[in-house]
Chains A and B, each alone.
Chain A
């Protein structure tokens, strides 16, 4: 709870920094705020669960763990907004504050105990995203992205709300545990169709937010149009919060209706894996490839949902989100640095990067290997734990399909590596890319984290006992 309060208050304070003449103070200020929140958040680790607002919000280890991921991700991402600082973007303070506020939404999504809180959390997060998607005002693609995201997102929110209303109608409550009790209550038996419809509509709403197929269609365009820095935020924080919320919903509220939703979620999983991976193969822009890859990773995370095991799945989702977020932040960070200077986002833009910027090339390689799930990186154990949770329940066919899909993914994750190490630089791209010492340090940290996750997974694999 302290983290929510801190983020809200300091977010407002941050707005006032915008009145200062210099932009230079903004980035350090935002980082200090995030570091503070990250530390304060950890105080609640492994203490008794605390409830707020008539038990609508619960801060427990689950929420602390996922709050940790989203805050850490933002903290590691923010140094790569230096370009905006240098350019003296006039609304920079507002953008930083939006990110801070959106984290409040994310935290609510991982600690809700009541469907209304889930809804409020999603909305806080989404509205901020609609704004930042269009933050590059003079760019047509950015405007298009914002409008598209906003329109689609509003529909999805409406559908989600409709679903919540129907679930309420069927069970008479918004509280997660009471919903579960309401489902098994024989008095509600006649309301089952309403419940199922409500659940389905809720799934559609949340699937949209985490860009799972077939509700993913906005993702490539919006990711491409949104300024890269904010795309990275979208594909990590929103996804992590979305999955933590989704899992909580399934395990706490709809546990009694597994017979209905497991096949549904499984169908979404298969479709998401297929569309994400096959779609990514066809891309020529690294940014669009990463957009499709983020769809595919939603698919891998869904496998943990299908496995529906309170302990195994929660741990798997936590580990996967962490490994995925770290690698994704690293890859988008490199992409942003490269595209800022070379003005292109296709694979050829990475040509010869290993010669001009060995560090960038190395970090990008580690990130790609992690996303592809190759050992020595966190991504390998992420997949290992999610697949393991599913095999534990006997879903061998599903896992075999996922394994085949991850074979496909190796094709497109290797392409940036090939460009960086094995293709000669073109004339216009032969200049080294300017990277500040601080950014280099953060990149090294990201690569290091990925390797630590891959070599000593035991440190993070058992956070929920």
Chain B
């Protein structure tokens, strides 16, 4: 029942938000998001206390809800959480209140609708992470798209219409391929006179020929690849990140991107293992191209938001590569990096937003010398940035280390090329830091204010997590380990 509450509470709050206006709306939204986070933490503690050595499933069994949805067709409202889902639910519920809090400085017109959409989006995201039925998964997958489309399209900057239109078309076309694959799989479950079912277990139990899996793989993969995005399905991403309002960008990069990786782990690898081994190498190469490509373009960026967008593209490539390395280290690395990247990228976009709001520009060339006036801002920025660069003891290090080790284990040369990402990330991020925060002041930056209380309230939890994940990664790794192990077992890799 906890899962059901986590799923439906945000949308219920979103509906209530309709009666609030302006300031009251955002305070209510923040309250609802905090309640949601508290419940998620409670769920995590319940699971941890129920955990006995060697038996992780018992801890999570109480999270499952399974009731008929379209009974005649064998489609159930089946939700539940294992360690993997739990981590992503925690990430979502942790980031959403911060994202709401981060938007307090902006006066968005029609605030109640704005915050209602964010909460609605939260339901969609959590739905994706807890669905254990293919059609339910698809349902929430699309539900998450609708609010972000409006958030970006209505409150975005000048070129928002063309950009969000492209984003919507790309992602929905991708997901329609996935739907076609799911419908096919669904009918296969009833192929030999059996009962049709879209339950995840039924999909896992299918025996599909290698030929079928070869094309099913692409149908499903494209949906996830667009969402992540993996090169060459990424072309919507930098524009959408840049043109969206900051909270939407944070949602997109911090959480929505993880939908793609989560989907790959849960709905692609174990369902079509033969297809995955057949095409995995190609995907790895694409992912590694994406790593280098994103990083090189990031170096050339003049706009802070665009730079972070391209750096995100580069980092997600590494996560994808880790997933397709199909070994314990790669998968665990992807899981921990999902959390780390979520924390870092949300923080970076927030700092970019603070700087833009104070100085009126995001152009790196027009900024400089911020450190003198803003010690708190500089330190926060530096911590998040070093986390992204993967400095040891920060969250990024744990993830990138495991990921690179995983990729290296899969193929030495790919691992070596992917490793360049750390160097390139240091190049573009440290350069940005140097040009924005150090050096001579400009007319725009000489009167800049340091962080306010509410901004600190956003950044401090993020910074805490940067170190928490960096110093005690096992807190999180042990939650996901059984789930990851199960995925590998299903694929016959363990």
Taking Cβ atoms with an 8 Å cutoff, the residues of A that contact B are 354, 369, 374-376, 380-381, 384, 387-388, 391-392, 396, 399-400, 403, 406-407, 410-411, 414, 418, 421-423, 457-458, 461-462
Pairwise interchain contact A410-B161, C-beta atoms closer than 8 A: no
What mask results when residues 171 to 191 of chain B are scored 1 for a CB within 8 Å of chain A, else 0? 011001101100110110000
- What are the 6 tightest A-B residue pairs by CB atom distance, in nearest-first order? A375-B142, A462-B72, A375-B139, A458-B70, A407-B173, A422-B153
Q: Would you mind naming 28 contact pairs between A and B with Cβ atoms under 8 Å apart?
A: A354-B154, A375-B142, A381-B70, A384-B135, A384-B183, A388-B73, A391-B184, A392-B187, A396-B184, A403-B176, A403-B180, A407-B169, A407-B176, A410-B169, A410-B172, A410-B173, A411-B169, A414-B165, A418-B165, A421-B150, A421-B154, A422-B161, A422-B164, A458-B68, A458-B72, A461-B72, A461-B73, A462-B72
With a CB–CB cut-off of 8 A, which chain B residues contact A410?
168-169, 172-173
With a CB–CB cut-off of 8 A, which chain B residues contact A411?
169
**In the complex the two chains form, what is the Cα distance from A375 to B154 in whole Å?**
21
With a CB–CB cut-off of 8 A, which chain A residues contact B177?
403
With a CB–CB cut-off of 8 A, which chain B residues contact A388?
73, 183, 186-187
Beyond A399-B180, A458-B68, whether A418 also contacts B153 by CB under 8 A is yes
Q: Does B293 sit within 8 A of A, measured CB to CB? A: no
Pairwise interchain contact A400-B72, C-beta atoms closer than 8 A: no
**In the complex the two chains form, what is the Cα distance from A374 to B69 in whole Å?**
18
With a CB–CB cut-off of 8 A, which chain B residues contact A457?
70
With a CB–CB cut-off of 8 A, which chain A residues contact B172?
374, 407, 410
Q: Does B146 sit within 8 A of A, measured CB to CB? A: yes
In the complex, what residue of chain B is closest to A459 when comparing beta carbons?
B70
Q: Does B138 sit within 8 A of A, measured CB to CB? A: yes
In the complex, what residue of chain B is closest to A354 when comparing beta carbons?
B154
What mask results when residues 132 to 170 of chain B are scored 1 for a CB within 8 Å of chain A, else 0? 000100111011001000100110000011001100110
**In the complex the two chains form, what is the Cα distance from A103 to B47 in whole Å?**
60
Q: In the complex, how many angstroms separate the beta carbon of B247 from the nearest chain A beta carbon? A: 17
In the complex, what residue of chain B is closest to A394 when comparing beta carbons?
B187
Q: A391-B184, A399-B183, A407-B172 are in contact. List 15 more A-B contacts (CB 8 A).
A: A375-B142, A384-B183, A387-B183, A388-B187, A396-B184, A403-B179, A403-B180, A407-B176, A410-B168, A410-B172, A421-B153, A422-B161, A423-B161, A458-B69, A461-B72
Pairwise interchain contact A374-B142, C-beta atoms closer than 8 A: yes
Pairwise interchain contact A422-B154, C-beta atoms closer than 8 A: yes
Taking Cβ atoms with an 8 Å cutoff, the residues of B that contact A are 68-73, 135, 138-140, 142-143, 146, 150, 153-154, 160-161, 164-165, 168-169, 172-173, 176-177, 179-180, 183-184, 186-187
Chain A contact surface mostly: helix
Pairwise interchain contact B153-A376, C-beta atoms closer than 8 A: no
With a CB–CB cut-off of 8 A, which chain A residues contact B72?
458, 461-462
Pairwise interchain contact B70-A376, C-beta atoms closer than 8 A: no
With a CB–CB cut-off of 8 A, which chain B residues contact A354?
154
Chain B contact surface mostly: helix
In the complex, what residue of chain B is closest to A407 when comparing beta carbons?
B173
Pairwise interchain contact B161-A418, C-beta atoms closer than 8 A: yes
**In the complex the two chains form, what is the Cα distance from A167 to B245 in whole Å?**
64
In the complex, what residue of chain A is closest to B139 when comparing beta carbons?
A375
Q: In the complex, how many angstroms separate the beta carbon of A370 from the nearest chain B beta carbon? A: 12
With a CB–CB cut-off of 8 A, which chain B residues contact A400?
180
In the complex, what residue of chain B is closest to A376 when comparing beta carbons?
B143
**In the complex the two chains form, what is the Cα distance from A257 to B180 in whole Å?**
30
**In the complex the two chains form, what is the Cα distance from A411 to B166 in whole Å?**
10
**In the complex the two chains form, what is the Cα distance from A410 to B171 in whole Å?**
12
In the complex, what residue of chain B is closest to A383 when comparing beta carbons?
B179
**In the complex the two chains form, what is the Cα distance from A407 to B222 in whole Å?**
15
With a CB–CB cut-off of 8 A, which chain B residues contact A387?
183
Pairwise interchain contact B168-A414, C-beta atoms closer than 8 A: yes
With a CB–CB cut-off of 8 A, which chain A residues contact B73?
388, 461
With a CB–CB cut-off of 8 A, which chain B residues contact A418?
153, 161, 165
With a CB–CB cut-off of 8 A, which chain B residues contact A406?
176
**In the complex the two chains form, what is the Cα distance from A20 to B187 in whole Å?**
60
With a CB–CB cut-off of 8 A, which chain B residues contact A374?
142, 146, 172
Most buried by B among A376, A406, A457: A376
In the complex, what residue of chain B is closest to A410 when comparing beta carbons?
B172
With a CB–CB cut-off of 8 A, which chain B residues contact A407?
169, 172-173, 176
**In the complex the two chains form, what is the Cα distance from A89 to B186 in whole Å?**
55
**In the complex the two chains form, what is the Cα distance from A406 to B179 in whole Å?**
12
In the complex, what residue of chain A is closest to B75 when comparing beta carbons?
A458
**In the complex the two chains form, what is the Cα distance from A97 to B154 in whole Å?**
45
Q: In the complex, how many angstroms separate the beta carbon of A356 from the nearest chain B beta carbon? A: 13
Q: In the complex, how many angstroms separate the beta carbon of A463 from the nearest chain B beta carbon? A: 10
With a CB–CB cut-off of 8 A, which chain A residues contact B169?
407, 410-411
In the complex, what residue of chain B is closest to A411 when comparing beta carbons?
B169
With a CB–CB cut-off of 8 A, which chain A residues contact B153?
418, 421-422
With a CB–CB cut-off of 8 A, which chain B residues contact A384?
135, 183
Beyond A392-B187, A414-B165, A461-B72, whether A376 also contacts B180 by CB under 8 A is no
Our pick among B146, B165, B179, B184 for the contact of A376 (Cβ within 8 Å) is: B146
Q: In the complex, how many angstroms separate the beta carbon of A393 from the nearest chain B beta carbon? A: 10
Pairwise interchain contact B70-A369, C-beta atoms closer than 8 A: no
Our pick among B69, B70, B143, B160 for the contact of A375 (Cβ within 8 Å) is: B143
